[in-house]
Amino acid sequence: MVTEQQVRAWVEGYLRAWSSNGRKDIAALFTPQAEYHERPYETDWIGREAIVDGWIDRAGWQEGGWDFDWSLLAINGDTAAIEGTGRYKELGTFANLWTVTFARNGRCSVFRMWNNQI
């Protein structure tokens, strides 16, 4: 069972990786066979390398600055539900709902995001 502390550490790592766009920072979040799904966009990255490559391709989204507020909604076994609001100077504001399923090593094995512009 994942703990609140593990979830907080993972989200902090996610935000660090979003800021750095560093391959090592991004890869550290996910298992080798991880899945990353995002809706309403048809984003389905399967495998850590595909996640890293897809993530780096989005570096332009951060132009002009951004911030992200989040809260932990629930933990059920190995999966956490997270609510967030991302504000991008160039893109606008987005409401996010994440489910993050964790492997035993604390890395994400399945990431699902519902991303809606406000």
Mean pLDDT, the chain, as a whole number? 94
Length of the chain: 118
CATH number at residue 38: 3.10.450.50
Per-residue pLDDT at 63 exceeds 90: no
- What total of structural domains would you count in the chain? 1
The answer to whether the predicted template modeling score (pTM) of the entire model surpasses 0.85 is yes
Q: Which domain holds residue 32?
A: 4-117
